């Protein structure tokens, strides 16, 4: 058919910018998958479990976004470095995520990715920091597309939900952490899963295996360059079947959605299910009951937020909303339709703008916003009006405070905003539009439709808008130039004015996807020879057209001009509006018969053309077998040749010609009736349109009823809640009564409740020990019962309490005087603060009174003591001070309490006190040590001091007590004793000198040999030195080390003598005996042993040890380097002296060995009080 013969269709075309695929097809190598992992509190354990199960050579790059403290450095990278062998680093600006690496966000940072490079910025607010996971995942989706993976692990709040939706929208794969019950974990994982954006809800340990399977699947379906193949002819061929399954299962027609959109969504479902072949997926779509719904949700993924594109919203508020609320009929509401509202953010944003525009108007117009979407789950979410706190990033604090109500970590839309919006499920493909609209918004939806559907939707918007109405599209959408329906009012903001033309509501065509095979078959190319043959045969073949199940003309062929006569009004391809009026009714009848029978039908139909009668044979035959959806129909027109006009029957004509004339008259009459029917049909069509408007109003009313129903349900839920609370209160009351009964039964405090007439209301069992009451006496007067309390002032006190509304507390004694009670009487107040009697408690304080008396007695003892008894805390501050301390030190208690104990020390003694406090804190008791202290008048006094730790009832040391006794008299006695000891020592020394002189003169006169004389004199001198040593150390004891040093000092040269052993104190008697033994050993060593030559060495070792028989002291005398030693032939006097004095005098055991290298003598003696004792500090000396 010539181009001029084509009927004019709608010229409205939505020209859209195709959403670009972030994955660059010209990349020849496959970049690594970039896995964005978001978490908050509790995420560390999940991270460790994840990387413990992830191989180090997975080929993926991991970027971790964790909510971190902005004021402290994070050790997250170091901790995760112990859980994996992959390099773990903190992100810096310009970092490129590489395969088999882990990058961690630094504290107080916002992380994004652009062109594969990480970018770091400081958060502008705390809200931006709380949505850091969303920020990174959204940028990851935009930058990587299908190469992105989003994982949400444990965390509080809803951060990550928007980012996960963006990754799913871009074709990536998403995961959420599962709890033990295989449902998403509470918090961030559940928020993402509830939005329908998560492909896999798995335990953390199972996620690495799923990711590796995903990589393996991508490797199988990828192009040779490693990049996922953008096109799949086999999958494209299956789209017809897929759309048919969705239509049959869900009643939703996606036949006119764009191929690219459908392919991407179907391919993503195949990716999630790990399916390679499209035919296999079609089988899964048919067999799995949930898969059509999942694919439906996949196709409808929409990323939206409040005030998306704020500049465009501001332009709409200034140029459109302000005009709508101030102009027009005040009695009529402003009607707005938000088509494709998703989860309601855009509808509520418009409601906020309208509410703000009406805020300062005296008589604002009512506003009704119809928000529709094909996704019933999104509509249910929008109706609830409850959004996570991440909306803080999109809405100012002022708007949040005015238009939202905070509920925990979420925001609910305020009632005055919710009342403006009416939400409803609506399918733009098949459902009629709303009418009498002032504004229609359809943002970022038309980009997913084919051109024909775009035209029909835009025509639908034109039909629903009133004259002067506005259309608002998304930033990626525009209206073609030269359109007859809309003109640009603000092209940059995508705001269009409705052109006042006759509205045409195009009925939904047959599903375009279902007709695609037939159309392709018809439009398939033929060879040049066949084309020429078809051109010649076209002159002889009947004209025909192909129509769909909605009687929309799909194709013309041949000369159809004579059979067409379009109706006035809007242009349309509908058969009923194009056919000749005489042919419309017969054609509709034949089409119906062919559709019912499924076979070819035909009929000869007369019609008038240019005033003459014509006859045409209309042939109708269905096309195809109907397996791919509704069948198309071929409608052919075959002219019928009639006899020459003007001939009338002659005289010889038969009688059959007369009925023929009657038949022609009947046909003409039928034609008149047909025209009248056509007129009636047009009127019915007009009525139908009006009914559609009424239906739309009814639809709105139903929505309002649904809203009312929701409110009633909400009220019902509140009633259920109130009922549950009442049940809880009843249960709580039962528990309280049980607790009160148990408290009464278990308490040892006598408690009595009386009413205003002093009748018993209730009492505890302990009351029976004071009053002669028993169970069942409730309601009787308390004065009817005898009591153990002396006197009868109880009722009088109760009357005073009721009169003055004050409490009385006093001690009362029992009749026998053995017990004392603390009596408390208080007003009994009901929960309504009404005085309804008195409560009486009687606490037996007899034991406390005894303790108070004992404490007072002890205090009297302390106060009367002549010793200073002082207590202080662990910081050394005085807490108590008795009279004895005042007499000794001169300070009064008011002067010294609260002052440090160092006040009592002289300057030279200040270093002592910290050491004492340290020992006290360790629980050590300091007993009977003599010290000097300073009095108030700076006198130095001598004291014997004992300091003991003070412990509380839990055994903790809380302070110390110091008892100081004045020992001035004892010190004077000790000084006198020391003077007498000095005098005695002087006399002993004089006697020893006289003895030494007498012995020496006698030995000289007696011609005694010099060696013998020298031995005798040496022994007397040894006794003298031992005496001097004992005298120097107080006359009671001496040091074993000093004894050895004194005796051996004349023979020391070049470290030839070594003394090794602990400090041992010997008594005076043991000192003299041991000194003689040491002298004899030293004498022999200087004559015959090691000390007789310069090379000789003498080592003396002594040790103290304990065994079953007690402590023992062992002394070893060992000589080396002297002359060769031989055993003596006889025992000399010195040997006998050593053995006899030690064995008999001290009970020692002496062993002498004469080895060639040197003499060895071991003396073992008991370390008894008669011999000596071991001093606390050991030491060695050379």
Distance (Å, rounded) from C-alpha 1014 to C-alpha 1019?
9
Domain 747-848 CATH assignment equals 1.10.600.10: no
Distance (Å, rounded) from C-alpha 569 to C-alpha 1103?
129
pLDDT of 520: 39
Distance (Å, rounded) from C-alpha 593 to C-alpha 1057?
139
Helical axes 1068-1087 vs 1010-1032, angle rounded to 10°: 140
Q: What superfamily would CATH give domain 512-642?
A: PAS domain (3.30.450.20)
Domain 1014-1181 CATH assignment equals 3.30.565.10: yes
pLDDT of 159: 84
Q: Which DSSP string do the residues of 418-439 spell out, in sequence order?
A: HTTEEEEE--TTTSPPP-SEEE
- Indicate if 182 belongs to the active site: no
pLDDT of 883: 82
Nearest alpha carbon to residue 1150 among 1114, 1174, 1126, 1119: 1114
- Token pair for 373: 């979407």
Per domain, the residue ranges of the chain are 34-227, 310-498, 512-642, 747-848, 865-966, 1014-1181
Three-state SS at 193: helix
pLDDT in tens, 637-668: 988 876 544 444 444 444 444 456 567 666 66
Q: Report the phi/psi class of residue 944: left, alpha or beta, with left for phi > 0 and alpha for psi in -120 to 50.
A: beta
Catalytic residue among 40, 139, 839, 1038: 40
Q: Give the CB-side neighbour count of residue 934, counting CA atoms within 13 A.
A: 13
Q: Which fold has domain 34-227?
A: Rossmann fold (3.40.50)
991 in Cβ contact with 973 (< 8 Å): no
Equal CATH topology for 747-848 and 865-966:
yes
Phi, psi of 102 (to 5 degrees): -125, 125
Distance (Å, rounded) from C-alpha 1111 to C-alpha 226?
89
Distance (Å, rounded) from C-alpha 813 to C-alpha 820?
4
pLDDT of 706: 73
Write out residues in the chain with pLDDT < 50, as ranges: 1-28, 224-227, 482, 510-526, 644-658, 1178-1182
Q: Give the CB-side neighbour count of residue 34, counting CA atoms within 13 A.
A: 31
- Indicate if 402 belongs to the active site: no
Distance (Å, rounded) from C-alpha 448 to C-alpha 169?
13
Scored b (16 or more CB within 10 A) or e, 1150-1180 reads bebeeeeebbbbebbbbbbeebbbbbeeeee
Phi, psi of 523 (to 5 degrees): -90, 5
Domain 310-498 CATH assignment equals 3.50.50.60: no
- Indicate if 1079 belongs to the active site: no
Catalytic residue among 134, 143, 159, 199: 159
Cβ atoms within 10 A of the Cβ of 926, count? 16
> Computed over its alpha carbons, how large is the radius of gyration of the chain?
57
pTM: 0.43
pLDDT of 521: 39
∠ CA 56-58-59, rounded to 5°: 115
Maximum Cα–Cα distance across the chain = 217
∠ CA 804-806-809, rounded to 5°: 130
Distance (Å, rounded) from C-alpha 529 to C-alpha 527?
5
pLDDT of 544: 87
Q: Which fold has domain 865-966?
A: Beta-Lactamase (3.30.450)
Find residue 752's DSSP bridge partners: 763, 840
- Token pair for 1031: 């005298």
Alpha helices in 890-1007 (DSSP H): 893-896, 912-921, 968-1005
Rounded alpha-carbon distances, angstroms, from residue 268 to 46, 247, 258, 863: 27, 20, 16, 93
629 in Cβ contact with 511 (< 8 Å): yes
């Amino acid at each position: 058919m010539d181009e001029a013969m084509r009927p004019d269709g709608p010229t409205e075309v939505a020209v859209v910018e195709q959403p670009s695929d972030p994955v660059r097809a010209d990349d020849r190598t496959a970049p690594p998958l970039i896995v964005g992992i978001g978490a908050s509190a509790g995420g560390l354990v999940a991270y460790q479990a994840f990387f413990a199960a992830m191989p180090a050579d997975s080929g993926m790059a991991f970027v971790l976004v964790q909510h971190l403290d902005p004021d402290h450095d994070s050790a997250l990278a170091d901790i995760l470095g112990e859980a994996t062998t992959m390099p773990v680093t903190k992100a810096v600006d310009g970092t490129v995520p590489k395969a088999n690496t882990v990058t961690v966000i630094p504290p107080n940072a916002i992380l994004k990715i652009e062109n594969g490079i990480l970018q770091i910025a400081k958060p502008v607010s705390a809200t931006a920091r709380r949505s850091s996971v969303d920020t990174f995942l959204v940028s990851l989706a935009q930058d990587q597309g299908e190469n992105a993976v989003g994982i949400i692990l444990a965390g509080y709040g809803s951060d990550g939900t928007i980012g996960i939706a963006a990754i799913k929208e871009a074709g990536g794969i998403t995961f959420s952490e599962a709890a033990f019950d295989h449902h998403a974990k509470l918090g961030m994982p559940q928020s993402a899963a509830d939005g329908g954006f998560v492909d896999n809800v798995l335990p953390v340990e199972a996620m690495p295996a799923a990711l590796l399977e995903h990589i393996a699947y991508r490797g199988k379906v990828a192009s040779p360059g490693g990049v996922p193949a953008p096109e799949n002819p086999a999958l494209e061929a299956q789209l017809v079947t897929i759309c048919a399954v969705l239509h049959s299962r869900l009643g939703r027609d996606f036949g006119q959605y764009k191929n690219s959109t459908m392919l991407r969504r179907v391919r993503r479902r195949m990716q999630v299910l790990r399916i390679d072949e499209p035919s296999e997926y079609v089988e899964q779509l048919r067999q799995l009951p949930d898969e059509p719904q999942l694919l439906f949700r996949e196709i409808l993924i929409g990323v939206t937020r409040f005030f998306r594109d704020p500049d465009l919203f501001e332009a709409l508020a200034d140029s459109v909303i302000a005009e709508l609320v101030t102009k027009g009929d005040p009695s009529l509401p402003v009607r707005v339709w938000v088509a494709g509202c998703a989860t309601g953010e855009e509808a509520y944003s418009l409601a906020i703008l309208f509410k703000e525009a009406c805020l300062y108007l005296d008589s604002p117009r009512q506003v009704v916003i119809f928000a529709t979407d094909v996704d019933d789950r999104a509509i249910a979410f929008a109706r609830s009006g409850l959004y996570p706190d991440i909306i803080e990033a999109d809405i100012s604090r002022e708007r949040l405070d005015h238009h939202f109500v905070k509920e925990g970590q979420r925001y609910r839309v305020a009632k005055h905003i919710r009342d403006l919006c009416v939400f409803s499920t609506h399918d733009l493909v098949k459902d009629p539009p709303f009418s009498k609209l002032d504004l229609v918004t359809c943002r970022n939806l038309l980009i997913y439709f084919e051109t024909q559907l775009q035209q029909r939707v835009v025509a639908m918007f034109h039909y629903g808008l009133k004259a002067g109405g506005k259309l608002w599209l998304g930033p990626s959408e525009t209206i073609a130039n030269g359109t007859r329906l809309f003109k640009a009012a603000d092209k940059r903001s995508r705001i269009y004015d409705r052109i006042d033309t006759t509205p045409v509501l195009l009925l939904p065509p047959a599903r375009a996807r279902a007709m695609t095979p037939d159309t392709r078959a018809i439009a398939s190319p033929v060879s040049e020879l066949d084309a020429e043959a078809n051109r010649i045969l076209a002159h002889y073949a009947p004209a025909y057209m192909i129509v769909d199940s909605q009687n929309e003309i799909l194709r013309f062929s041949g000369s159809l001009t004579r059979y067409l006569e379009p109706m006035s009004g809007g242009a349309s391809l509908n058969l009923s509006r194009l056919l000749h009026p005489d042919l419309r009714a017969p054609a509709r009848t034949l089409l119906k018969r062919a559709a019912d029978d499924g076979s070819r039908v035909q009929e000869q139909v007369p019609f008038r053309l240019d005033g003459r009668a014509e006859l045409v044979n209309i042939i109708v035959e269905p096309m195809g077998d109907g397996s791919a959806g509704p069948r198309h129909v071929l409608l052919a027109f075959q002219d019928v040749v009639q006899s020459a006009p003007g001939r009338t029957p002659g005289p010889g004509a038969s009688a059959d010609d007369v009925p023929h004339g009657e038949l022609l008259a009947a046909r003409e009459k039928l034609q008149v009736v047909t025209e009248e029917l056509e007129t009636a049909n047009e009127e019915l069509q007009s009525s139908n349109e009006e009914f559609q408007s009424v239906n739309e109003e009814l639809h709105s009313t139903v929505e309002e009823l649904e809203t009312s129903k929701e409110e009633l349900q909400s009220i019902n839920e509140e009633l259920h809640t109130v009922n549950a609370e009442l049940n809880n209160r009843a249960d709580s009351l039962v528990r309280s009564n049980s607790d009160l009964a148990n408290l009464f039964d278990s308490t040892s405090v006598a408690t009595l409740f009386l009413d205003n007439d002093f009748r018993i209301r209730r009492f505890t069992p302990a009351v029976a020990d004071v009053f002669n009451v028993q169970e069942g006496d409730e309601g009787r007067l308390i004065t009817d019962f005898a009591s153990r309390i002396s006197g009868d002032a109880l009722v009088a006190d109760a009357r005073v309490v009721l009169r003055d509304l004050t409490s009385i507390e006093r001690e009362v004694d029992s009749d026998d005087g053995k017990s004392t009670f603390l009596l408390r009487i208080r007003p009994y107040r009901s929960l309504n603060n009404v005085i309804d009697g008195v409560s009486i408690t009687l606490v037996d304080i007899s034991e406390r009174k005894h303790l108070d008396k004992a404490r007072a007695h002890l205090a009297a003892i302390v106060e009367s003591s002549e010793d200073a008894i002082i207590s202080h805390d662990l910081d050394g501050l005085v807490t108590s001070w008795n009279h004895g301390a005042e007499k000794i030190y001169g300070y009064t208690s008011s002067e010294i309490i609260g002052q440090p104990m160092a006040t009592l020390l002289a300057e030279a003694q200040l270093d002592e006190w910290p050491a004492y406090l340290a020992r006290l804190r360790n629980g050590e008791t300091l007993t009977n040590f003599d010290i000097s202290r300073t009095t108030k008048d700076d006198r130095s006094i001598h004291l014997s001091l004992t300091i003991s730790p003070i412990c509380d009832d839990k055994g903790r040391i809380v302070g110390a007590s110091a008892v100081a006794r004045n020992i001035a008299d004892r010190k004077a006695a000790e000084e006198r004793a020391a003077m007498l000891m000095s005098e005695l020592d002087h006399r002993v020394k004089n006697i020893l000198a006289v003895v030494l002189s007498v012995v020496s003169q006698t030995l000289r006169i007696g011609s005694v040999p010099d060696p013998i004389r020298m031995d005798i004199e040496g022994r007397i001198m040894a006794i003298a030195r031992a005496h001097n040593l004992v005298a120097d150390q107080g006359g009671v004891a001496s040091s074993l080390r000093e004894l050895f040093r004194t005796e051996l000092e004349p023979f020391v040269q070049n470290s030839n003598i070594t003394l090794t052993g602990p400090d041992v104190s010997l008594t005076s008697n043991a000192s003299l005996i041991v000194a003689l033994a040491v002298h004899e050993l030293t004498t022999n060593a200087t004559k015959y042993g090691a000390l007789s030559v310069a090379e000789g060495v003498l080592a003396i070792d002594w040790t103290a040890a304990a065994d079953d028989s007690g402590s023992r002291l062992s002394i070893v005398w060992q000589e080396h380097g002297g002359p060769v030693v031989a055993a003596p032939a006889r025992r000399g006097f010195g040997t006998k002296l050593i053995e006899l004095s030690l064995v008999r005098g001290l009970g020692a055991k002496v062993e002498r060995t004469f080895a060639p290298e040197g003499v060895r003598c071991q003396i073992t003696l008991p370390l008894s009080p008669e011999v000596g004792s071991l001093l606390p500090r050991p030491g060695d000396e050379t």
